[in-house]
Structure 1
Amino acid sequence: MQDVFNTVFGIHDQTLTWWQMSARAIGVFFAALLIIRIGSHRIFGKNTAFDIILGIIYGSVLSRAITGNAPFWPTLAAALTLVLLHKALAVLAYHTNFGFGNFIKGRPQLLVKNGKLQEEALRANSVTKNDLLEALRSTGAVKDLDLIDEAYLERSGNISIILKKSDDKEK
């Protein structure tokens, strides 16, 4: 069995043929799919720094298994460890109330309050008035900052906008 594995997937210290690298790519693809299923769909569904970091490292680790720059099984074990660490930290962040979740996942930043720009928050997050106007245009609702009740820079980097109620607009 070991000889068949070595023939199909190659050995770590040898130069891999195109078909061995292709076989590794197929094996890593299905292993990665299984590992992600063990972890969480949110890993690539949300774009918080917490999730992006795992995606980058995960891809880097798995690429080493495909190219033969690292041993096949230990590399898959490292990828599984990363996904399980991500899942454990997400569960811990969910169940703790002492700010760990904010540290791991970040927290939204208030950029506009009652139509007024929060200049310090804008500066701290490198968000320009043009960025806000772009987000406002993407809602398709209004074009005027005065009509915004609140706007937040979300943990994902998106800007969400809450418009004033009709009663508030008339005041």
Structure 2
Amino acid sequence: MIFGLHEETLTWWQMSARAIGVFFAALFIIRIGSHRIFGKNTAFDIILGIIYGSVLSRAITGNSPFWPTLAAAFTLVMLHKALAVIAYHSNFGFGNMIKGQSQLLVKDGKIQEKEMRANSVTRNDLLEALRSSGSATELDRIKEAYLERSGSISIILKKDKE
């Protein structure tokens, strides 16, 4: 009765009770899964976050049955965890297929135009990443720059004597 499990329409307090229940169930499910689901923003992780939120919202609003919806959310998190474990132990590129791989954008101060174009990264994007690193403002100071799987740009500067 509290969750309105057998009701056609939900009252405000039943929906509120469902929201509280879903919150704690979601917290429990994520803790069983992996904290990195929302810690690193690869496409692999973002997709789960979007679907997970969508599925759980249906449990709150009563658009789907309460317990089966929580079971579906749990299944999604376990799928994410299983794929992450397989990717970790994979020797045949499964991890790169699921999570992506970094792309070299600058090598020894020279922009890799083909990679920049393929990844829609502009010179201004590189300059922004360089400024964010707080170390230099000229592209020729970059030893290597990578577009990481998360979409961020990491920069390795040349040593002073290079």
- Compared with structure 1, are the counterparts of its residues 48 and 12 closer, same or farther at alpha carbon in structure 2 (3 Å cutoff)? farther
Q: Distance in 1 between matches of 2:51 and 2:155?
A: 32
Of 103, 125, 135 in structure 2, the residue corresponding to residue 131 of structure 1 is 125
- Give the letter for the 2:92 counterpart: F
- Shift, 1:11, TM fit: 2.9
SS across alignment from 1:8 = coil
Whether 1:154 and 2:134 are equivalent positions in the alignment is no
Q: Moved runs in structure 1, 4+ residues, more than 3 A? A: none
Whether 1:42 and 2:36 are equivalent positions in the alignment is yes
Q: Distance in 2 between matches of 1:11 and 1:35?
A: 21
SS across alignment from 2:38 = helix
Q: How does 1:50-129 map to 2 (within 5 A)?
A: 50-129=44-123
Q: Distance in 2 between matches of 1:31 and 1:95?
A: 29
Percent identity of paired positions between Structure 1 and Structure 2 = 81
- Give the letter for the 1:120 counterpart: K
- Give the letter for the 1:42 counterpart: R
TM-score by length of 1: 0.93
Whether 1:22 and 2:16 are equivalent positions in the alignment is yes
State the Cα deviation string for residues 33-56 of structure 1 (Å, max 9, x = none).
000000000000000000000000
Task: Considering fraction of residues, name the structure with more helix.
Answer: 1
- Compared with structure 1, are the counterparts of its residues 163 and 12 closer, same or farther at alpha carbon in structure 2 (3 Å cutoff)? farther
Q: Between Structure 1 and Structure 2, how many residues are aligned? A: 162
Q: Distance in 1 between matches of 2:41 and 2:83?
A: 16
- Compared with structure 1, are the counterparts of its residues 127 and 13 closer, same or farther at alpha carbon in structure 2 (3 Å cutoff)? farther
- Give the letter for the 2:153 counterpart: I
Query: Alpha carbon RMSD of aligned pairs, Å?
Result: 0.8
Q: Which runs of 5+ in 1 are unaligned?
A: 1-6
- Give the letter for the 2:132 counterpart: S
- Give the letter for the 1:61 counterpart: V
Q: Distance in 2 between matches of 1:153 and 1:12?
A: 51
Q: Distance in 1 between matches of 2:3 and 2:27?
A: 18
TM-score by length of 2: 0.98
Q: Which runs of 5+ in 2 are unaligned?
A: none
- Shift, 1:12, TM fit: 5.8
